[in-house]
Amino acid sequence: MIRVRDLRFTYPKGTSEAIRGIDFAVAPGEVFGFLGPSGAGKSTTQKILLGSLRGYSGSATVGSVEASGADSRYRAGIGAAFEFPCFYQKLTGLENVRLFASFYPGPKVDPRPLFERLGLADAMDWRLAEYSKGMRMRLNLIRAVIHRPRVLFLDEPTSGLDPANARVVRDIVRERAADGAAVFLTTHDMAAADATCDRVAFIVDGRIAACDEPAALKRRYGKRAVVVDREPGPEVGAAAGGSAAGASDGASDGASEKTAQAEYPLDGLADDAAFIAELRKPGLLGVRTLDSSLDGIFLRLTGKELV
């Protein structure tokens, strides 16, 4: 649905390329996370795909149509929710949604159930000036999906939302993908990307540093080990120290004041006698894997924090 090949772009007054030869594709039904720090090229790529920026080299197509030739028909199949949700302040939420929906051909979704689902039923007839940032973000999503687009561009869709509403937004995004839409999700929020995306690409300085499923990235770049957490105590502490020494890398990752920890390699774990003995000792608090977070992988691959 979305295909980008060797895409390069330099702003007219820019001295260097903002996009430096990136390649990716987003299939129908897929949620693709485009992750990177500010200035990495996320918005530029999105603007190119929306047909707002021309003069690029390489190829950027949506539904096999080149973005540089974007016209009304091209845009009719796209829904976009930008990071800063902008609406007509003097119109109500419902008036805004209906106005923007009127620009798109074909049948529309009834907006009222979406307003209810996103907790905006009572605010449907409020003017936008009375909406909080979180309410605008939710309204932004309604505007983007109201015409059932085949391609959905979402920029930081859960920014400023409480966990409950963020979950509803993620659910709606997943439902749109299940309905066949290709979703291009731009975000800093690795946790949201991890929870929502089928695949993610890390972009930094106009280049894609890695692109794969979140779980695959974690497997590839994460530490293949488990950590046993237990209550500290003279007997337990000694036990923890013993088991840590028994771990293949010989390292406990440093017990805190309240918790003793011992680490064991994931490979051969079922046959690791020290690990099994550790589980039998008193004071067990839990066992967890040492998957890297997407933040950690991003930092490791790019040397940059996601800010």
Partner 1 sequence: MNAALFAADLRLLWRHGFAIAYLVVAVLYAAALSALPRAWADAVLPVLAWSDPTFFCFFFAGASVCLDLAQGTFRSLFASPLRPSAYLIVKALDLGILSFAMAALVSASSRGAGFRLWPLAVSAVAGGAPTALLGATLALRLKSVNRFMMGSIPAFLVLALPAVQYAAGRYLPPWFGLVADLSPGDGSLAFARAAYTPVPAGELALGALAAAAWTVAIARFALAPAVNAARGD
Applying CB under 8 A, which residues contact partner 1? 47, 50, 52-54, 72-73, 75-76, 78, 80, 82, 84, 86-91, 95, 98-100, 102-105, 143, 153
Q: Are 287 and 218 in contact (CB under 8 A)?
A: no
Q: Are 209 and 34 in contact (CB under 8 A)?
A: no
Q: How far apart are CA 82 and CA 70, in angstroms?
A: 18
Instruction: Pick the closest to residue 120 from 112, 110, 108, 129 (CA basis).
Output: 112
The least distance separating partner 1 from the CB of residue 306, rounded to whole angstroms, comes to 24
The least distance separating partner 1 from the CB of residue 24, rounded to whole angstroms, comes to 20
The beta-strand segments (E) located in the chain are: 2-9, 19-26, 31-35, 57-62, 65-66, 78-81, 151-155, 182-187, 199-204, 207-212, 225-230, 260-265, 284-289
Choose between 5 and 90: whose C-beta lies nearer to partner 1. 90
The least distance separating partner 1 from the CB of residue 53, rounded to whole angstroms, comes to 5
Q: Are 39 and 86 in contact (CB under 8 A)?
A: no
The least distance separating partner 1 from the CB of residue 167, rounded to whole angstroms, comes to 25
The least distance separating partner 1 from the CB of residue 99, rounded to whole angstroms, comes to 5
Q: How far apart are CA 117 and CA 134, in angstroms?
A: 14
Choose between 91 and 299: whose C-beta lies nearer to partner 1. 91
The least distance separating partner 1 from the CB of residue 52, rounded to whole angstroms, comes to 5
Neighbours of 28 (CB within 10 A): 15
Residue 81, strand partner residues: 154
| Structure-token pair, residue 65 | 């149509």
User: If you ran DSSP here, which 8-state letter would residue 219 be given?
Assistant: H
CA dist 215 to 78, 190, 198, 199, 212, Å?
28, 13, 9, 9, 8
The least distance separating partner 1 from the CB of residue 59, rounded to whole angstroms, comes to 19
The least distance separating partner 1 from the CB of residue 134, rounded to whole angstroms, comes to 17
Residues 6 or more apart whose CB falls under 8 angstroms from that of 6 comprise 21, 22, 23, 57, 58, 59
Choose between 144 and 239: whose C-beta lies nearer to partner 1. 144
Choose between 72 and 258: whose C-beta lies nearer to partner 1. 72
Choose between 92 and 187: whose C-beta lies nearer to partner 1. 92
Choose between 94 and 260: whose C-beta lies nearer to partner 1. 94
Choose between 44 and 243: whose C-beta lies nearer to partner 1. 44
Q: How far apart are CA 294 and CA 296, in angstroms?
A: 5
Choose between 184 and 202: whose C-beta lies nearer to partner 1. 184
What totals of helices (H) and strands (E) does the chain contain, helices first?
A: 11, 13
